[in-house]
Structure 1
Amino acid sequence: MQQPAAALTCKWQLWQRTKQKVENLEALGRQRTSDLSAANEKLHAEMAARSPAERVRQAMEVQLPQAQKLEVLG
Structure 2
Amino acid sequence: MANTPDIKTLDWTKIFNGVALLLCCLSLAFIALYLRPVAQWATNQNVCVAQEVAKSQAPISWGVRKCNGRSKVYQVK
Q: 1:29-44 residue pairs with structure 2 within 5 A?
A: 29-44=14-29
Larger Rg: 1
Residue 46 of structure 2: which of 61, 65, 73 is its match?
A: 61
CA RMSD after TM alignment: 2.5
Greater helix fraction, Structure 1 or Structure 2: 1
Normalised TM-score (structure 2): 0.58
- Cα distance in structure 2, aligned partners of 1:32 and 1:64: 46
**Regions of 4+ moved over 2 Å:** none
1-structure distance, mates of 2:26, 2:50 = 37
Bigger relative contact order (CA 8 A; separation at least 6): 2
Aligned residue pairs, count: 57
